[in-house]
Amino acid sequence: MDRGLSLRDVVVFKDEVPLIRVHYDIAPGAVLTVMGPSGVGKSTLLAFITGTLALDFRATGAVWLDGHNITHAAPHQRRVGILFQDDLLFPHLSVGANLAFGLPPGGSRAARHTRINEALAEVGLDDFADRDPATLSGGQKARVALMRMLLSEPCALLLDEPFSRLDAALRAQVREMVFDRARARALPVLLVTHDADDAAAAGGDIITLGD
Amino acid sequence: MPSKIVPRRRLLPLLPALTLLALLGPVAAGLWGTIMPAFGHLPAAGLVGPSFAPFRDLFGWAGLPRAAMLSLSTGILATVISLAIVMLVTAGWSGTRPFRMLERALSPLLAVPHAAAAFGLAFLIAPSGWLARIVSPGLTGWDRPPDLLIVQDSWGLVMTAGLIVKEVPFLLLITLAALGQADAQRSVRVAQALGYGRLTGWLKTVFPRVYAQIRPPVYVVLAYAMSVVDVAVILGPNTPPSLSVQIVKWMSHPDLSMRLEAAAGALLQLALVIGALALWRIGEIIIAALGRRWIASGARGRADPVVAGVALFAGAVSALAVLLGLVVLAIWSFAGFWAFPDALPDAMTTSNWLRFGPGTLHALGETALIAVTTAVIALILTIGCLEAEYRHKIRVSQRAIWLLYLPLLIPQTAFLPGLQTLMLNIGADVGRVPVMLAHLVFVLPYVFLSLSDPFRAWDKRIGVIAAALGSGPDGVLWRVRLPMLLRPILTALAVGLAVSVGQYLPTLLIGGGRVATLTTEAVALASGGDRRAIGVYGLMQTGAALVPFALALLIPALVWRNRKGLRHG
Amino acid sequence: MKHLAILAALLAPMPALADIDPANWEAVTAEAEGQTVYWNAWGGSTTTNDFIAWVGSRVAEDYGVTLEHVKLTDTADAVTRVLSEKQAGQDDGSAIDLIWINGANFAAMKEADLLFGPYAEDLPNWALVDYENKSVQTDFTVPVDGYESPWAMAQVVFIHDTARMPDALGSMQVLLDWTQDNPGRFTYPQPPDFLGATFLKQVLVDILPDASVLAEPATDDNYDDVTAPLWAYLDTLTPNLWREGRAYPATGPAQLQLIADGEVDLAISFSPGEATAAIANNQLPDTVRTFVLDKGTIGNASFVAIPYNASAKAGAMLVANFLMSPEAQARAQDPDVLGYGTVLAMDKLAADDRALFDALDLGIATLTPAELGTVLAEPHPSWMTRISDDWMTRYGVAQ
């Protein structure tokens, strides 16, 4: 497969005990959901893909993204975007500066400024560029985090229970927004969750771990 | 291992090694430089060993038994009492309003240099001190000070008190840090539900965990209190002085051959500290055994309120002693003539500041230059080590922590004289740069201990996000991690500055008397007894240590005034 | 041993004298013009630093000599420097032209042939110096022989607070009697502090019927006999000292605070002007006065000396001569400037020069040169060393 995210014979070990085995190709615009109770090691799979596996873990297998083997690439060179359940906006930067952090370098100041404002407008946050992220509501933060990630032009999207902190009404709305944009950009998506609604909304294949 | 990232080899991996070298190199060299002259080998003075003459001379000194005894008694007493105060206050009061007040009063006192606190105490409790002046002649009938040997008493009790008032804030802050990881409140609540008093419940459930955490700093307090020089010069006896003071006197003797006796004394001091630490360890085992029996006895602690009350009182007295001491330093610095038993001077004047101010500014410049250089180097090494640990996923064991404490456990008087003698032998010039390296030995551990917890506690997912957004490891460090950690970084810097400002012996010995900082100048003034000069220097010294802490609070508040998420970081 | 050294000095060629003759003052003055003199002097006191700066401005004005004050923390550093220059074969062009010196440092430099001279008695102002009554021709019993020139006198005085202790004491025996009646009201700096050791010497000089033995080095034969009265004295004194002798002030100035606090009534000082200056600084009450003993008190002089390899010997001699001038001496004696004792004899001065001294308000607690009376010579340094060591064994490790 030339395009998309491929996990080939990936096995994650903890203390030499296999925790997760995955062999799957996620096509552009498709979603793979990994389900299971907390503590089963879902997030370590994502850590392996982003290249940030913790010391206690070891993994074998390979990760291919758009035809490149990124298994051994440095984390910042993988072009894999990730969203966690917390927004994790940089607290020392304004909303606009957070987005600018995601935007790849290059272009005039004015052009970058325009792209940031367009991104904010796209999620209904016009004129939020100078705001302190700590003053935003949960839904607003989630939208900023999403746009920051999308501005970095990733080739794949990893979601680590990104909706679990949001209340029910907001949750559906944010979820829809994320999947819409991933589809529009033809991004392969890997969703990790313990919530059946999330899995259903994702609409793709589901791998269930644990039990 | 396919999942491992291969790091680019650059400066970063060298920093932990460099840090260890800066930390332990001078200590090892100093011990080596002590051992040789202790056995009669000092080429610079034309003496070639080996010989036992230095030890014969040392044991021939009539003052040795008392001097060695003073070192032991003041060290152990100061450690036991300050530890008891802190443990009992925390046990009886943590989480209450009085505790918070005491904590707030004691925290800034951590930065007050030992010498300034000692001067303040002396000015407070001497027979002609402020307390006697306030109650005389009204309550006492004294129109002249009673002829009582209070300050510089032969038993070193006032010197012990001077150490206690400074170690209580230190141990309290260390304890508070340890409490965070001990889940203390729930344990005490469970014990209370079982009918235990708050204090007894805390001692039986929380103390063992907390003590395991604070054991290294307690050992540091013991080693420090046994070998302290500046406090001993100001408050300690002189007929004879404590062993460490005598070592320094021998070191500064114009006759180079006296350094042999100093070196022999330094080794004895080291042996005394090791012996005391061993004694303390045995004491720990005995207390643990007794404690287990006490826990098994089921005693619920009927005396709790009394013990807690006494402990709180002792803690408050300790804080007040330093605070009032600083007040009386300030009064003396502005005093015109001030006869006994007047409670206040005849007149207040700025002439003392005009007279001594220029000298203090000169010393302040030297102090600041040394402190800033040392603290910044320590900060760079610390951040380098912590970042290397993060990037290369190095796990830090509990044993490595002891490595950090090692230079603080070896008495200053055991290796600094050796370091000076070694420099003399190889013809290296004493001066500012060697002083900075010597300061680094003491500054580095405190900066590291201060920054490591917040640095490690930083949410690593932020780093994952930043990397996912295309930021390399250096970008993450400079653009995200360090700005977010601005407050703890500045606090660590302030700790480093305060430690450097307060250093007496490294400055005196390694500077060869030619590097004049506020601390060496202030302690040198102790012998002259000019309270006005001491007041001016003591306040400047305190200011030099406290202002960085104020800035460490102020700067993040200003820089991040529009960033709510970092205001309580 | 010493004779050998002197013999060696006599036999050694004297290149230092080849280039300039101190007796030819016109030639000295001519050569000095335009020279820069590096004066190595203790720099620990702002008042002396100011005085040296003033001397610099005056010699620049009158003789075109530039004076640079090299501030020392320890005079021994300058001695070491000249010694290492000599060992390195640097027999001219030294970094040092003039040293503030006395006592052991002078003895060491003289013995090692490190000094230029003799020059002191050729200086024009030597004619005004009171060498008959002031110990300016021996320095701690070492003959000066013209190798250093005096510029200030120090003399033991006792400071007492007349509000609590009205009467002066005439001798050390009277002092001892007074402490018996007034226990805890006297102390002295802890030897080996310089002033504390001076107190011990002052006791010995005053209680010995014949103190001339002290002018010679102490020997194992005579030391015990000569010092026995001193130890007997101290054994009686110590229980009645402040804090019963279990603690001592560390230095001379520490006694001032004790007087101000009313802890003690009496203290020893080596500077006749110190009490007045301390009153001005609020360190002492204005009821304080000073006195000397009937038989006189120990005194010594501060000198300047010129290294044998100095670069600017002529300029250095000009500065040394200026330091002995009535103008400089009167300024040094001004308690607002230094309060140092003068080395000059008042009766040798011209009337208007004497007027400079008469015009000085020495301050309420400073004795006039006449009141200071007889200056007793310092004992040979060997006495001080042995007495200090013995004191430390007997009283320094009390109980």
Cα distance between residue B312 and residue B310, in whole Å: 6
Which residues fall within 8 angstroms of residue B530, CB to CB, at 6 or more apart? C253, C256, C257, C283
Q: How far does A8 lie from chain B, in Å, by closest CA?
A: 13
pLDDT tens figures, A112-159? 999 999 999 999 999 999 999 999 998 899 999 999 999 999 999 999
Touching partners of B (3+ C-beta pairs < 8 Å)? A, C
Q: How far does B557 lie from chain A, in Å, by closest CA?
A: 12
Which chain C residue lies closest to B334 (C-alpha atoms)?
C282
Cα distance between residue C45 and residue C56, in whole Å: 17
How far is the CA of B325 from the CAs of B122, B149, B187, B448, in angstroms?
A: 8, 19, 38, 31
In whole angstroms, how large is the CA radius of gyration of chain C?
A: 22
Q: How far does B336 lie from chain C, in Å, by closest CA?
A: 5
Cα distance between residue B475 and residue B466, in whole Å: 9
Q: How far does B15 lie from chain A, in Å, by closest CA?
A: 21
Q: Which residues of C touch B340 (CB under 8 A)?
A: 261-263
Q: Is the pLDDT of residue C330 over 50?
A: yes
Of the candidates B437, B262, B429, the one whose C-alpha atom is nearest the C-alpha of residue C77 is: B429
Q: Which residues of B touch A98 (CB under 8 A)?
A: none
Mean pLDDT of chain C: 88
Q: Which residues of B touch C43 (CB under 8 A)?
A: none
State both tokens at B202. Answer: 């805390």
H or E segment and range at residue C305: strand C297-305
Q: Which residues of B touch A142 (CB under 8 A)?
A: none
Contact state of B147 with C395 under an 8 Å Cβ cutoff: no
pLDDT for the residue numbered C19: 65
Q: Coil, strand or helix: which one is B256?
A: coil
State both tokens at C326. Answer: 């009535």
Residue C153 β-bridge partners: C301, C341
Structure-token match 């950090």, residue found: B404
Q: Given CB atoms, is A86 within the 8 Å cutoff of chain B?
A: yes
Q: How far does A111 lie from chain B, in Å, by closest CA?
A: 19
Angle at CA B526, nearest 5°, toward B524 and B527?
85
Number of inter-chain CB pairs under 8 A, B vs C: 103
**Distance, first Cα to last Cα, chain B:** 37
Burial of B559 (0-12, 13-18, 19+ CB in 10 A): middle
Cα distance between residue C377 and residue C205, in whole Å: 9
Whether residue C118 is preceded by a cis peptide bond, meaning omega within 30 degrees of 0, is yes
Q: Given CB atoms, is A47 within the 8 Å cutoff of chain B?
A: yes
State both tokens at B93. Answer: 């009061």
pLDDT band at C74; cut points 50, 70, 90? low
Q: Given CB atoms, is C174 within the 8 Å cutoff of chain B?
A: no
For chain B, 569 residues long, give each residue's pLDDT as a single digit of tens: 333 444 455 677 788 889 999 999 999 999 998 999 999 988 766 778 788 999 999 999 989 999 999 999 999 999 999 999 999 999 999 888 999 998 888 888 989 999 999 999 999 999 999 999 999 888 888 888 999 898 989 899 999 999 999 999 999 999 998 887 778 888 888 998 898 989 999 999 999 999 999 999 999 999 999 999 999 999 999 889 999 999 998 887 766 778 899 999 999 999 999 999 999 999 999 999 999 999 999 888 888 999 999 999 999 999 999 999 999 999 999 999 998 899 999 999 999 999 888 889 989 999 999 999 999 999 999 999 999 989 888 777 777 788 889 999 999 999 998 888 888 777 666 678 999 999 999 999 999 999 999 999 999 999 999 999 999 999 999 999 999 999 999 999 999 999 999 999 999 888 876 788 999 989 888 877 889 999 999 999 999 999 999 999 999 999 998 888 887 64
The answer to whether C372 and C341 are in contact (CB under 8 A) is yes
Q: Given CB atoms, is B62 within the 8 Å cutoff of chain A?
A: no
Q: Given CB atoms, is A23 within the 8 Å cutoff of chain B?
A: no
Q: Coil, strand or helix: which one is A208?
A: strand
> Closest partner residue to C257 among B153, B239, B529, by Cβ?
B529
Contact state of A91 with B566 under an 8 Å Cβ cutoff: yes
State both tokens at B3. Answer: 């999942």
Cα distance between residue A135 and residue A95, in whole Å: 10
Q: Given CB atoms, is B463 within the 8 Å cutoff of chain A?
A: yes
